[in-house]
Amino acid sequence: MKKIILFIAFFAVAIISAQDTYLQCGSVIDTETGKSKTEMTIVVSGNKIKSIQKGYIAGTNADTVIDLKNKTVLPGFIDMHVHLESEFNPQVYIKRFTNNEADVAFESSAHAKATLMAGFTTVRDLGGSGVNIALRNAVNKGYVQGPRIFTSGKALATTGGHADPTNGMKKDYMGDPGPKEGVVNSVADGKKAVRQRYKNGADVIKITATGGVLSLAKSGHNPQFTLEEIQSITSTAKNYGMSVAAHAHGDEGMKLAVLGGVNTIEHGSFMSEATMDLMVKHNCYLIPTISAGKQVAEKAKQPGFFPPVIARKALEIGPKHQATMARAYKKGVPMGFGTDAGVFPHGLNGIEFGYLLEAGIPLKESLKAATITNAKLLGMETELGQLKEGFLADIIAVDGNPTKDAKILEQVAFVMKDGVVYKN
C-alpha cells in the first residue's frame, strides 16, 4: 500500500512539474532579421523556451495559456549600462553622507523593479558602492523583482578621477583611497584592484578612462590612466574571466583604452575618426548612451540642478554626443545598446531607441543591438537575446509594430523573465 501511495505522489509531482505556459502571440519578431511571423505560440517549460509553433495552440487543461494575440512579442531587452543604486537628483551628492547601505539597498530594489517592468530583463550595472553586488544576489534568490544583473561593483578610477569616491569632499574626509576602494595609480594597483573586484563578487570590470560629467571634478574628458595601467587591468581581468568596460568621453583616453584591450567603450562623446577606425580594427564595441547626454544637457539648463562645475560639463558634452554616435554608426563602429539609466529615471530605458533612430540608426538594428549583440557581449549568446528553443524564457510584448515606431518600445505591456510573468 505504501508503495502505491508513494507512486501516486511521485506521479502527481511529475504532472505538476510538467505544466507548461503557452503564449499565443499575434506577431513574433526575429531580432536577427527584423522580420516577424504572425499567429505563433511560444511554449515555455520551467525557465526555458520549449518550442515555437505556428498557429494558436492551447496545450492541455493543466497548462497555462496567455493571450497575446493583439501584441508583438520580442526577446527581453538587455541594457549594457545602468546604475541601479541611484537615480540622479540635486540631493545625490549630500546623500553620500546621509544614506546608509540599507537606504541604498532599498532604493536600488525599486530601481531594479522599474527596469524589469520596462521590458529590460537583463542589465549590466557599471558602478556603485558595492550594494549592486548584493542586489544581483537578491534578484537571483527571488527576494527582489528585477532584471538579471551583471555588475562591476565599484568602478575603477585614478586619484581625483571620475570614479574616485572622495571627489568633492573636504580634506578631512578625502584620505588616500587605493585599489580596495577602486583607486588605481600604478600597474600593481591595477592588478590588485581587479583581484579585489573578483573577491567582492563582480562579474565585469569598469574603468573610467577619462573624466566624466557628474563627478565633482573639473575636466569632463581628459585621459586618466596610462596605457600600461589599462593593460595591467585588462590582462588581469582576462585571467579572471572578466571583460572590461571603459567610460570615456575624451578622444585621447578613449584611444588608450582601445589600445589597452578594453571590450567596450561607454559614451564615446568626443570620438575622432581615427579612434573609430581603431575600434573597428580591434572589434571594440561602442555603447552609445545617448539618453544620458540628452538628459544631463536638459537638466543643466535648470538653475541650481547641478553644481556649476558639473553644469558646465553637461552643457558641453550633451549636445555633441548624439552627432558623434551618428558618425560612428556610418563609420561601421560595432555598437551595443546602453542607456546610463540612473543618470535619468530608471524605467525610461526605452527612450534610447528613439534617440538612436534620430541618429540614423534603424530600429531593427537597435533591436538587434539590445538583444542579440548585447547577449554576445555578455557571453550569453546561446541563452539570451533570441526567441529560440532552449533559450531562457525572457519574453516581452508591446502594442503595434516596434520596427516602425520607437515610441511603442517605451510602453511594454507584458514581461516574462526566466519563465515567470512579472507584468501582464
Give residue-wise pLDDT tens across range 79-101. Answer: 999 999 999 877 776 777 788 89
Which residue did the predictor score with more confidence, 257 or 88?
257
User: pLDDT band at residue 13, thresholds of 50, 70 and 90?
Assistant: very low
Task: Sort residue 393 into left (φ over 0), alpha (ψ -120 to 50) or beta.
Answer: beta
Q: Say whether pTM exceeds 0.85.
A: yes
Lowest mean pLDDT among 100-114, 154-168, 187-201, 329-343: 154-168
3-state helix/strand/coil string of the chain: CHHHHHHHHHHHHHHHHCCCEEEEEEEEECCCCCCEEEEEEEEEECCEEEEEEECCCCCCCCCEEEEEEEEEEEECEEEEEECCCCCCCCCHHHHHHHCCHHHHHHHHHHHHHHHHHCCEEEEEECCCCCHHHHHHHHHHHCCCCCCEEEECCCCEECCCCCCCCCCCCCHHHHCCCCHHHCECCCHHHHHHHHHHHHHHCCCCEEEECECCCCCCCCCCCCECCCHHHHHHHHHHHHHCCCCEEEEECCHHHHHHHHHHCCCEEEECCCCCHHHHHHHHHHCCEEECCHHHHHHHHHHCCCCCCCCHHHHHHHHHHHHHHHHHHHHHHHHCCCECCCCCECCCCCCCCCHHHHHHHHCCCCHHHHHHHHHHHHHHHCCCCCCCCCCCCCCECCEEEECCCCCCCHHHHHCEEEEEECCEEEEC
Q: In the structure, what pLDDT confidence band is assigned to residue 166 with cuts at 50, 70 and 90?
A: low
Say what the pLDDT of residue 170 is.
61
Chain mean pLDDT for the chain: 91
Please list the residue range(s) of the chain that carry CATH number 3.20.20.140.
Answer: 77-377
- Which residue bears the cell 546621509? 98
pLDDT tops 80 at residue 11: no
Taking residues 187-194, what's their average pLDDT?
Answer: 98
Q: Which of 44-58, 174-188, 264-278, 409-423 has the lowest mean pLDDT?
A: 174-188
Q: What's residue 15's pLDDT?
A: 43
d(CA 20, CA 64): 6
Lowest average pLDDT, out of 13-17, 53-57, 228-232, 316-320, goes to 13-17
The pLDDT confidence band at residue 10, using thresholds 50, 70 and 90, is: very low
Position 217 scores a pLDDT of 67
Q: What is the CATH number of domain 77-377?
A: 3.20.20.140
Residues of the chain with CATH 2.30.40.10: 2-76+386-423
Q: What is the pLDDT of residue 215?
A: 67
Banded pLDDT at 220 (limits 50, 70, 90): low
Classify domain 2-76+386-423 by CATH number. Answer: 2.30.40.10
**Could you give the percent of the chain with pLDDT greater than 70?**
92
Tell me the pLDDT band of 9, cut-offs 50, 70 and 90: very low
